[in-house]
Homo-oligomer: A and B are copies of this chain.
Amino acid sequence: MSSSELPCKECCDVTIIHDEIVSDVQAKQLPLEKGNELALLFQALSDPTRLRIIHTLIQAEVCVCDLAAILEMSQSSISHQLRNLRALRLVKHRKVGRMVYYSIDDEHVLSLMEIGLQHISHS
């Protein structure tokens, strides 16, 4: 429990209390780039509408029109959100005529939803 002059001291005006912990943990830091990517992934899951879309698509492949009906929201809103989910490769689409069918594009999404639901349940 001693203060010191680690390199960091030169780049921010914060006191360092535990030298070893700071240097140890700093060496194992989450790379900034990974942090940013990971944040984007969770950000895609941070909206109730998008979560309801995902929860729906986990159960069935659904076209945009039906998705809007199921969630009782406008087609435009759903379409915008699907674009977001598509950009992060969380959902994929299949075009049939003028209809577009969306479905889940990643096993990880299922796990994330399950674990997330567990967390909010046992609270």
A interface residues (Cβ-Cβ under 8 A, vs B): 6, 8-9, 11-12, 14-18, 21-22, 24-26, 28-30, 32, 34-39, 41-43, 45-48, 51-52, 55-56, 59-60, 62-63, 65-66, 68-70, 72-75, 89, 99, 106, 108, 111-113, 115-120, 123
Within the complex, what minimum Cβ distance (angstroms) separates A119 from chain B? 4
Distance between Cα atoms of A114 and B47 in the complex (Å): 21
30 A-B pairs within 8 Å (CB atoms) are namely: A11-B72, A14-B69, A16-B69, A17-B63, A18-B62, A21-B60, A21-B66, A22-B66, A24-B59, A25-B56, A25-B59, A26-B70, A29-B70, A30-B55, A35-B48, A35-B51, A35-B52, A37-B120, A38-B51, A38-B113, A38-B117, A39-B47, A39-B51, A42-B43, A42-B46, A42-B112, A45-B46, A108-B115, A112-B115, A115-B115
Chain A, interface SS category: helix
For A60, the chain B residues whose CB sits under 8 A away are 21, 24-25
